[in-house]
Structure 1
Amino acid sequence: MKHQIDSGRSLGIFDKEYQYKRPESAATGGKLYWNLDDESATESELAEQMDFPLVSIAMAYDGFDELDMAQIKPLMASLPLFETVYKALAERDQRDPASWKPTGHGQVLMRNATNTVKSHSGRGLMRMLAEEMMRRSAAEGFRGIQIETISGAVEKVWSNPPAPFKATIIGQFHTTTFEETNVTGEVSYPFRPANVNVTKIFVDLRSSNSCSD
């Protein structure tokens, strides 16, 4: 997340009328009070400990500045299927890497993670951020944005970008039917009972071209 914040490519929506819950939060423009040692905190308790005006985020980074996998290992340890998702999508990606991968800065943006606080959900903020990111990136010369989605709402937005942008679903699978086979031939369904479509989408920001070969 820090990599994406430091990239300067991530966007957020702030509530300009936000009322701070604690005076010490106002003094710093917002503060997070999560106790990371408390593994029993409920969703509402975590939300109460978030005291800042940021209400929606769209995280991204320049694809030429790849993620440091050593920094991703703790995430993979806590979310074992995280690696499975990306591996499965990579296996379904039939593109020649040379056809889309960046060879320098300012070519391909990698969109990675989005969220809106529950109090502001349902207002279309995710779509607003997505389309703003497309417009800004195109204006800055980027030729495309790649995103992996595990949300139907996010998939809908990114697979149907506003004109003149064009989207292509590069690879996808459904969590109810995805299967793995171990060395003994035993088949398992690691994502069940999750019921969602997982996709990799590439949005072409150049109106006259298609991102596919």
Structure 2
Amino acid sequence: MTDRTYKVFAAMDHLVEHQIASGLSLGIFDTEYQYKRPESAAAGGKLWWDPTELSADGDELMARMDFPLLSVALAYDGFSPFDTSRIAPVAQALPDFAESLHALEARDGRDPAGWKPTGPRQVLMRNATATKLDEGGKGLMRHLAHRIMRQAAEDGFRGIQIEGYHDSVTAGWSNPPLPFRGRLCRASMRGLGGGG
């Protein structure tokens, strides 16, 4: 599991960089965070993982995350997709994830013309969300989701597309605050290891 974590982390560079560069991603930062090491403070935060140390467990990996980011919601403009040639490492590191995305697309009964973008600032693609494990259960993901909904509306987007693999993500996006509305396009992911 630790080896896979390192591989997935390394494979996600393009996905994360593309979404940060879009200017459409948001994060929640602890403004009173106390750094564990001076080198981390000098860099504005640092990850102290060693990909050769396969014996590290989840608690050890968490302890080596020395930065003030508590929760992140990554997004990009659907009219400016990822460079697909740079996504192959993600599929190699997480083959079930790639398979589940193809299955969701194949089982989506919506007419693509009704939701796929034909130009910029039409459909916001919400691609990843994560909250530090020890910060879970505080509503940070929901807060970011609602903020992104408001920001997307202000920016003129007509919709947001998100694939939810965790029940709390699906619940948060399926029941947005007014005036927004969520539409769940459920696709069974039995046998693929995903939510839907």
| TM-score, with structure 1 as normaliser | 0.81
1:168 and 2:166 aligned: no
* Superimposed CA distance per residue, residues 44-91 of structure 1 (whole angstroms, 9 cap, x where no aligned partner): 111111111001000111100111122111111111111111111111
Task: Specify the alignment match of 2:44 in structure 1.
Answer: 29
1:197 and 2:192 aligned: no
Task: Specify the alignment match of 2:8 in structure 1.
Answer: none
Q: How does 1:9-48 map to 2 (within 5 A)?
A: 9-48=24-63
Task: Specify the alignment match of 1:157 in structure 2.
Answer: 172
Structure 2: distance between partners of 1:116 and 1:168: 24
Higher helix proportion, which one? 2
Structure 1: distance between partners of 2:83 and 2:175: 31
Structure 2: distance between partners of 1:112 and 1:162: 20
Given residue 145 of structure 1, which amino acid in structure 2 is its aligned partner? I
Given residue 68 of structure 2, which amino acid in structure 1 is its aligned partner? P
Alignment counterpart, residue 55 of structure 1, candidates 53, 70, 79: 70
Structure 2: distance between partners of 1:36 and 1:106: 38
| 2:73 alignment partner, SS class | strand
Q: How many residues align?
A: 181
**Percent identity of equivalent pairs:** 54
How far off its partner does 1:39 sit?
2.9
Alignment counterpart, residue 125 of structure 1, candidates 140, 154, 176: 140
Structure 2: distance between partners of 1:138 and 1:190: 34
Given residue 108 of structure 1, which amino acid in structure 2 is its aligned partner? V
Which of the pair has more CA radius of gyration?
Answer: 1
Alignment counterpart, residue 115 of structure 1, candidates 130, 134, 137: 130
Instruction: Give the root-mean-square deviation of aligned CA atoms.
Output: 1.3
Structure 2: distance between partners of 1:79 and 1:106: 30
* Superimposed CA distance per residue, residues 150-197 of structure 1 (whole angstroms, 9 cap, x where no aligned partner): 1000000000011111111123214xxx3xxxxxxxxxx343xxxx63
How far off its partner does 1:95 sit?
2.1
How far off its partner does 1:36 sit?
2.2
Gap runs ≥5 in structure 2: 1-15
Given residue 61 of structure 2, which amino acid in structure 1 is its aligned partner? L
1:4 and 2:19 aligned: yes
Given residue 162 of structure 1, which amino acid in structure 2 is its aligned partner? P
Given residue 117 of structure 2, which amino acid in structure 1 is its aligned partner? P
How far off its partner does 1:122 sit?
1.0
| TM-score, with structure 2 as normaliser | 0.88
Structure 1: distance between partners of 2:87 and 2:53: 22
Task: Specify the alignment match of 1:203 in structure 2.
Answer: none
Alignment counterpart, residue 136 of structure 1, candidates 151, 158, 175: 151
Task: Specify the alignment match of 2:116 in structure 1.
Answer: 101
